[in-house]
Structure 1
Amino acid sequence: MPWQILAAHVVGAVNNDGRPRWPFIIVTVPRQSGKTTAAGAWAIERAFTVPNARVWYTAQTGQKAREKWLEVVNDFNRSPFAPMVKVLKTNGSESMEFARFNSAFRPHPPTEDSLHSMQSDLNLIDEAWAFDEPQADALMQAITPTQATRPHRQTIILSTVGTAASTWLHGLIDQGLAGAEDIFLLDYGIANDQDATDLDAVAASHPAFGYTLDMDSLKAGLRQLGPAGFARGYGNRRTGAREMLIHNSTWKACQTTDYMPANAPAVIGAAIDIERTETAIAAACWVGDTPMIEVIEVRPGTRWAPAKIEKYCKDLKDAPVVDNVGPSSTLHAELTRRGLPPMDIKTRELTTASAELLDRMTKTDADGNPAPAVRIRSSSHLDLAMAIVEKRRLGDGWTWQRRSQGGSIAALEAATLALHGLQNRQPADPKPQIF
């Protein structure tokens, strides 16, 4: 398939010295794309072309790694190259031996001691979504030392995206999307703003559609897995193993590509992520009788935010809105010290703010069609937040669940607070002046 050919070019690319151009590659594709077949081809090519090559394959468990390795062996045994390779299948000693090149291709369990005293040139990690952070750390502790003295060292991670618990894989994908120089990312799947039940959209994003996959296969997958499972398995989109809090079509109906009107009397809301990895700033204003929300800044860290909020609020009449409990309490305190005390928001107001935004997003007309009472400028940060957010109980009400293994919801918190401030305007306290 074309995607396999493209991936093979990436995997096989070399520098002038013959070493791999990309030592660390992530390939993420939907289910039924043929990734195990591709991985087997890369492994066998390396064993044939690099003398003394040591090629290793692992998956979510040692048994799964062995089963997938045997699939590759069975396919290879039907090829004209089969007589050139000796296959050992004894449990614990499985190996494809390329005697002419003194190379070997073997499976191994994903454990810290599985490659002790071994060497490796190519390490293939399949189904990486299954590893949590401690398991992934142990696996990389096994792999990394084995490559230390090997000039052709290369690690390839293959997987469909995972559930909310797949933080290791998703963190690596995020680094690749951010342009990390030491990662080559090849990523196929539907966008966050695409409806996973739109089978034409899923088909257009699935690299095996029209080759080994047809529309009947997609229909069966949706019927068996449901929208959330189908979005992950066949759309290759990380939504967690549950339904989104609101349907994707409802979320899309709220969105606009329009910018907030210039010089609109806006209210600023801000929030720090529960892990303190990023801070988000949003603004809300009235456009006619409908509130509009725009996420205007999302950046790593926290120290940059107070000065930015001061700048945004310089010409505004209303105080910013920041929760004074939880991770954002430090931002609330710093703004107060700077003479820009945020609007106070109590527990009951926080639950009301969350419910009001949800009600506005999910409003329908008399026929039950989406008729949102809020306009939200499109934002990838909000797309992610809406894909992973859940409710948490707070007193007699609920608010957004900050603690999610799928990522940050700081943008959604900031948007919620900005809307609450807009609907409950509170003038900013004037800074004291000395005469």
Structure 2
Amino acid sequence: MTSLLPEPAVALPPGKPPAEGPFGWQEPPIQIAPPATSSAGQEAIDLAARAGLHLDPWQQHILRVGMGEQPDGSWAAFEVAVNVPRQNGKGGIIEARELWGLFIGGERLILHSAHEFKTAKAAFKRIERLIRACPDLHKRVKTYRQTVGEEGIELHTGQVLRFIARSKGSGRGFTGDCNVMDEDMILGDDAMDALLPTMAAVPDPQIWYLGSAGIGAPSVVLGRLRRRALAAVETGVPDPSLAYFEWSVTPCRDECPPGCAEHDDAASDEAVLKSNPGVGYRLTLEKVARERATLSPAGYGRERLGVGDYPSDEADTWQVIPEETWRALAARDSSPEDPVAFAIDAPPERDHAAIAVAGPWRGGTHVEVVDHRPGMGWVVERAKQLHRDHRPRCWVVDGGGPAGSLIQALEEALSEVERELSGSPEAVVEIVQPKVREIGQACGRFYDAVADQSLSHLDQAPLASALAGAQQRPLGDAWAWARRGVQVDISPLVSATLAKWGLTAEVEEASVDPLDNIW
């Protein structure tokens, strides 16, 4: 059986400034993105130009990649994060994305939030000026809402762009097609807990994070996003739902030898160009030199070179299985052999779902995450495709978990595929639903397989992130996986655990009408 992963996204090489002048790098030193077959980015770029907003090459690059689409037209990346030093022009990216959502994308509600109200209001005024200056866009606006706390733009066709200051409660009750999180270096769990679940019921949502380098404890969410990106870069396996762009340097340390080629010289122009794509467009090396002379070394590193302070996360402490133990079992070129078992799981918020597969490999068991995407609506069709391609011995879903609501639709859809493949009109696929004690057994077997090194995996970021954020909860005399916080999604881990258990689970034969046995 071949690997079920899509082809990995290729990280673009660092951009090089044009030879004719001092321009900043137009492609970031750190970038990941899921595979995409098309992009709506050019539409956003062209519309922005009509409104008088002419974007730099690096801004256009982010829109083309961040607005990448899958073959069915849905977003390739659920989350898009842009980490770039101040005054480089990230506001232009936000404005172009919001204009597209209002006037082309048909997004019913776009929520733009910032840490402070004055920042959100300034963003509202900028995009209002762009729209008013373009008659073709202005005539489509029903109202510009100016009431304090209610700032926004509403079109005659019903689309709304709202501007709010973040708080624990702001955003509750709104169902946004797109959330724009400005100043994401000041973004914590309370604000995300209020805003992110609003997108769970949206068929094809997208969330954009934009800000500058981390500033310590307030940068909780940005720190998580960055760790996911670095994990994907390190392993070469793309994060299936995150596009991340960061302009920054790795400064030399005190112990670095003269002429160190591994790190960047923080006092050099080269470091400025690497971390500031706006140089040559709205920044100059002369202005930056004045900053370097005035700011503290730490302040200059953070504000101009993108050297951030990112808080550690309790969810990254690998409490159940040590990280080094897990990483040691990675085998990139492996794939499960037949017969395989598939399993499906979702977090309580139902904002994501995961499908995993397990199969024999070299005397042990290989597991991998086949798919991990936002929402639940995609699962049944994907399961049909996998069943048709691989004819697994079983499908496993915890009937008492969030994915249990899919069981009836899955059984109907998979039975249809099985009848097609087998030619038997009586063929029925029944989803295997583990009992509580069997869930405990599944977790124990997974743990034991890691301990005795009889399990292999592809070192995928979603599975590693789930393990990093997992803990144990009592289950009678056994235990089951649990998560440490609402921001942790352990569905990739739970589905992989259940898929492994499914390899030896008792599977009932295809259901047959009892009347067929009456003579």
TM-score by length of 2: 0.45
Q: Within the alignment, does 1:375 sit opposite 2:456 as a pair?
A: yes
- Pick the aligned partner of 1:18 from 48, 52, 77: 52
Structure 2 counterpart of 1:388: 469
Q: Within the alignment, does 1:268 sit opposite 2:303 as a pair?
A: no
- Pick the aligned partner of 2:230 from 191, 201, 204: 191
Aligned partner of residue 399 in structure 1, secondary structure: strand
Aligned partner of residue 397 in structure 2, secondary structure: coil
Once residues 317 and 386 of structure 2 are traced to their aligned partners in structure 1, the CA distance between those partners, rounded to angstroms, is 36
Once residues 54 and 172 of structure 2 are traced to their aligned partners in structure 1, the CA distance between those partners, rounded to angstroms, is 24
Structure 1 counterpart of 2:183: 158
Q: Give the drift of 1:359.
A: 3.5
Could you give the per-residue CA deviations for residues 76-119 of structure 1, whole angstroms, max 9, x where no partner exists?
A: xxxxxxxxxxxxxxxxxxxxxxxxxxxxxxxxxxxx99768999
Contact (CA 8 Å) 1:321, 1:344: kept in 2 or not? yes
Q: Give the drift of 1:287.
A: 1.0
Once residues 137 and 215 of structure 1 are traced to their aligned partners in structure 2, the CA distance between those partners, rounded to angstroms, is 48
Contact (CA 8 Å) 2:336, 2:367: kept in 1 or not? no
Could you give the per-residue CA deviations for residues 161-181 of structure 1, whole angstroms, max 9, x where no partner exists?
A: 866556269959x99xxx989
Once residues 160 and 134 of structure 1 are traced to their aligned partners in structure 2, the CA distance between those partners, rounded to angstroms, is 19
Matches within 5 A, 1:250-261: 250-261=325-336
Once residues 91 and 382 of structure 2 are traced to their aligned partners in structure 1, the CA distance between those partners, rounded to angstroms, is 49
Structure 2 counterpart of 1:318: 393
Once residues 377 and 275 of structure 1 are traced to their aligned partners in structure 2, the CA distance between those partners, rounded to angstroms, is 27
Contact (CA 8 Å) 1:317, 1:428: kept in 2 or not? no
Alpha carbons of structure 1 residues 60 and 41: separation in structure 2 relative to 1, 3 Å: closer
Structure 1 counterpart of 2:250: 209
- Number of matched pairs: 316
Once residues 446 and 309 of structure 2 are traced to their aligned partners in structure 1, the CA distance between those partners, rounded to angstroms, is 28
Contact (CA 8 Å) 1:162, 1:240: kept in 2 or not? no
Aligned partner of residue 249 in structure 1, secondary structure: helix
Once residues 421 and 292 of structure 1 are traced to their aligned partners in structure 2, the CA distance between those partners, rounded to angstroms, is 13
Once residues 135 and 261 of structure 1 are traced to their aligned partners in structure 2, the CA distance between those partners, rounded to angstroms, is 46
Contact (CA 8 Å) 1:323, 1:329: kept in 2 or not? yes
% identity of equivalent residues: 19
Once residues 172 and 486 of structure 2 are traced to their aligned partners in structure 1, the CA distance between those partners, rounded to angstroms, is 17
Once residues 341 and 148 of structure 2 are traced to their aligned partners in structure 1, the CA distance between those partners, rounded to angstroms, is 56
AA aligned to 1:345 is P
Structure 1 counterpart of 2:445: 356
Could you give the per-residue CA deviations for residues 299-332 of structure 1, whole angstroms, max 9, x where no partner exists?
A: 4443543454455446647332211212122233
Structure 2 counterpart of 1:99: none
Once residues 396 and 434 of structure 2 are traced to their aligned partners in structure 1, the CA distance between those partners, rounded to angstroms, is 8
AA aligned to 1:157 is D
Unaligned 5+ residue runs, structure 2? 1-15, 18-22, 29-45, 64-79, 93-112, 120-145, 154-162, 174-179, 212-224, 235-245, 257-262, 264-306, 416-427
Once residues 480 and 502 of structure 2 are traced to their aligned partners in structure 1, the CA distance between those partners, rounded to angstroms, is 16
Q: Give the drift of 1:407.
A: 4.4
Contact (CA 8 Å) 2:347, 2:491: kept in 1 or not? yes
Contact (CA 8 Å) 2:395, 2:502: kept in 1 or not? yes
Matches within 5 A, 1:26-175: 29=83, 35=85, 38=87, 134-135=169-170, 157-160=182-185, 165=190, 167=192
Structure 1 counterpart of 2:505: 425
Matches within 5 A, 1:215-294: 236=310, 239-240=313-314, 243-245=317-319, 246-261=321-336, 264-294=338-368
Aligned partner of residue 400 in structure 2, secondary structure: coil
Q: Give the drift of 1:409.
A: 2.2
The 10-residue stretch of structure 1 (273-282 or 300-309) with the greater mean CA deviation from structure 2? 300-309
Could you give the per-residue CA deviations for residues 351-379 of structure 1, whole angstroms, max 9, x where no partner exists?
A: 22123223333x2xxxxxxx733111243
Contact (CA 8 Å) 1:28, 1:161: kept in 2 or not? no
Contact (CA 8 Å) 2:181, 2:207: kept in 1 or not? no
Could you give the per-residue CA deviations for residues 182-237 of structure 1, whole angstroms, max 9, x where no partner exists?
A: 95868866513578xxxxxxxxx882432xx746799xxxxxxxxxxxxxx95858
Aligned partner of residue 473 in structure 2, secondary structure: strand
Once residues 156 and 276 of structure 1 are traced to their aligned partners in structure 2, the CA distance between those partners, rounded to angstroms, is 21
Alpha carbons of structure 1 residues 271 and 114: separation in structure 2 relative to 1, 3 Å: same
Q: Give the drift of 1:292.
A: 0.3
Structure 2 counterpart of 1:302: 376
Structure 2 counterpart of 1:94: none
Once residues 60 and 289 of structure 1 are traced to their aligned partners in structure 2, the CA distance between those partners, rounded to angstroms, is 53
Could you give the per-residue CA deviations for residues 248-302 of structure 1, whole angstroms, max 9, x where no partner exists?
A: 333322323224256x211122223322223322111111221001222334443
Aligned partner of residue 369 in structure 2, secondary structure: strand
Q: Give the drift of 1:412.
A: 1.4
Alpha carbons of structure 1 residues 208 and 352: separation in structure 2 relative to 1, 3 Å: same
AA aligned to 1:330 is S
Once residues 388 and 161 of structure 1 are traced to their aligned partners in structure 2, the CA distance between those partners, rounded to angstroms, is 22
Contact (CA 8 Å) 2:343, 2:496: kept in 1 or not? yes
TM-score by length of 1: 0.52
Alpha carbons of structure 1 residues 431 and 359: separation in structure 2 relative to 1, 3 Å: same
Once residues 254 and 235 of structure 1 are traced to their aligned partners in structure 2, the CA distance between those partners, rounded to angstroms, is 31
Alpha carbons of structure 1 residues 17 and 41: separation in structure 2 relative to 1, 3 Å: closer
Unaligned 5+ residue runs, structure 1? 44-57, 66-111, 120-124, 139-154, 196-204, 219-232, 364-370
Once residues 348 and 169 of structure 1 are traced to their aligned partners in structure 2, the CA distance between those partners, rounded to angstroms, is 35
Contact (CA 8 Å) 2:356, 2:369: kept in 1 or not? yes
Contact (CA 8 Å) 2:315, 2:468: kept in 1 or not? no
Q: Give the drift of 1:342.
A: 2.5
